[in-house]
Amino acid sequence: MSSLVTALEDTIVVEYGQFVVQEISMLRSPLALPDPVGDWVAVGGPGGLLLHSAATDHYPLVRLELWNDAPSTASGYWDHVLELTCDVQSAVRLQSVTAEHSDHTLSIEQPGAHHARVHVGNRDEAAELDEGTLESGIERWLIQLWPA
């Protein structure tokens, strides 16, 4: 039975329509991952997750969760829910594409490969934001991590 190990709620500035869940060491960066072709929401790999917002410049609400095993998909309305994998060491935090980072960290108990279930909501509302508005709390994200 899966149980929540730890969680944090945070926000970070989205720049150029993107932000990352980045391992603290920053020796590997999800910003180095290739953007998928077409409309995309997230990609995972060495160093964390690269996330694609529906708006260019704003502050989404983000909840990061670490689970000991696969959790249930979160209830509520989500525009997209997808599962992918990433590889992270020791701790992660939210970071902008120009390296502004959150002061809050999520400790990773078992370094290495992790599953990530990414939920995102309110994308239509976020897409209506003008470039450079820096609105807060429109788009919302839930990212659940657990060991692979």
Write the CB contacts of 20 (distance below 8 Å, at least 6 apart in sequence): 29, 30, 31, 48, 49, 50, 51, 94, 95, 96, 97
How does the average pLDDT of the chain come out, rounded?
A: 95
Each residue's pLDDT tens digit, 60-98: 999 999 999 999 989 999 999 999 999 999 899 999 999
Annotated domain spans of the chain: 4-147
Extract the tokens encoding 140: 């919302």
pTM: 0.95
Write the CB contacts of 58 (distance below 8 Å, at least 6 apart in sequence): 13, 14, 126, 129, 133, 134, 135, 136, 138, 139
CATH value of 4-147 in 3.10.20.30, 2.60.34.30, 2.40.30.130, 3.40.50.300? 2.60.34.30
